[in-house]
Amino acid sequence: MPKKKNIFKTIFSFYVDGFKNMTWGKTLWILILIKLFIMFAVLRIFFFKPVLSGKSEIEKEDIVVRELLDKK
């Protein structure tokens, strides 16, 4: 009876072999990672300021309730 391979090892080796044999794929993955970095790091710094930082728990609750009620 043949020995069963671990499914996780099989999947991992599939992806490792696929990434080793890529030519344009590596460049595209680098571009994707750069884009994700820009989206999550840079845009957060400049456009999404932390509104609740430096506030007490009661002030945070009031701000959240006010924002939820004003959205109607």
Tell me the one-letter amino acid at 54: G
How many CB atoms are closer than 10 A to CB 55? 13
Supply 72's token pair. Answer: 């109607």
Residue 58 lies in a domain: yes
**Total domains present in the chain:** 1
Residue 1 lies in a domain: no
pLDDT by residue (tens digit) across 29-60? 899 999 999 888 888 888 877 878 888 999 98
Q: Domain range for residue 55?
A: 7-70
Residue 26 is predicted with a pLDDT of 82
Residue 57 is predicted with a pLDDT of 92
Residue 60 lies in a domain: yes
DSSP string, the chain: -PPPPPHHHHHHHHHHHHHHT-SHHHHHHHHHHHHHHIIIIIHHHHH---TTTT--HHHHHHHHHHHHHHT-
pTM of whole model > 0.75? no
